[in-house]
Amino acid sequence: MNQDANIGALFASVGLSDRIPQAGMPESDDLATPRISPIANAAITAGFQKCRDMGIQKPSAAGFCLGLLAIDCPASRLMKEAGITEEAVRKLAAVTTEDEEDIRRKRVLSPDVPLERWGTAADRILSSALRIAAADRSPVVGTQHLIAAVVRDSQCRGA
């Protein structure tokens, strides 16, 4: 998330950028699929719900930050200790750029689309997070794996 221009600037303004390690690439081709940890699942769900409540169909890095801030986890504690507030992140999440996703968004009839139908961008991030967790030989997919997947994906607006 630190590579996102808006989130990176917010993190840098409170000195958080220096405390976030660079995401590495998976070092294994092990295909064992770890499960998503309850904390990571809660963060993803909270991020999607908060964005939907704001009328945003596709969460950005700021949307995932909102999800992390909404739950109690090491990432949220680190952001809160650094002085990052939900209000500041909401302002960043509300800023969108006009692209083909925005055109598709205008055709959506209801923001209450099941999480399974959020599209290929979310699928790519979740798939990458699963592979990263497998490479770490982690039995669960944690928030650190989700963040690494967002940063790793060059097509993700959160990267």
Structural domains in the chain (count): 1
Both tokens assigned to 120: 């290929």
Per-residue confidence (pLDDT) for residue 133, from 0 to 100 = 92
Q: Is residue 10 part of a domain?
A: no
Residue 118 to residues 8, 18, 23, 63, Cα–Cα distance (Å): 25, 32, 25, 13
Does pLDDT of 112 surpass 60? no
Q: Is residue 83 part of a domain?
A: yes
Structural domain that includes position 53? 33-95+115-159
- Quick check: 13 and 82 in contact, CB under 8 A? no
Mean per-residue pLDDT for 122-148?
88
Q: For residue 69, what pLDDT band results from cuts at 50, 70 and 90?
A: very high
Tell me the DSSP string of 82-143: TT--HHHHHHHHH----SHHHHHHHH-S-S---GGGS-HHHHHHHHHHHHHHHHTT-SEE-H
Lowest average pLDDT, out of 17-21, 45-49, 69-73, 117-121, goes to 117-121
Q: How far apart are CA 119 and CA 38, in angstroms?
A: 22
Measured over the CA atoms of residue 72, residue 75, residue 80 and residue 86, the dihedral's sign is: negative
Does pLDDT of 134 surpass 80? yes
Could you give the angle at the alpha carbon of 23 between the alpha carbons of 21 and 29, nearest 5°?
140
pTM over 0.75: no
Lowest average pLDDT, out of 4-8, 65-69, 130-134, goes to 4-8
Q: Is residue 22 part of a domain?
A: no
Integer-rounded Cα Rg, in Å, for the chain is 15
Out of 2-11, 31-40, 84-93, give the one with best mean pLDDT: 84-93
Q: Is residue 12 part of a domain?
A: no
Q: For residue 70, what pLDDT band results from cuts at 50, 70 and 90?
A: very high
- Where residue 146 sits, what CATH number does that domain have? 1.10.1780.10
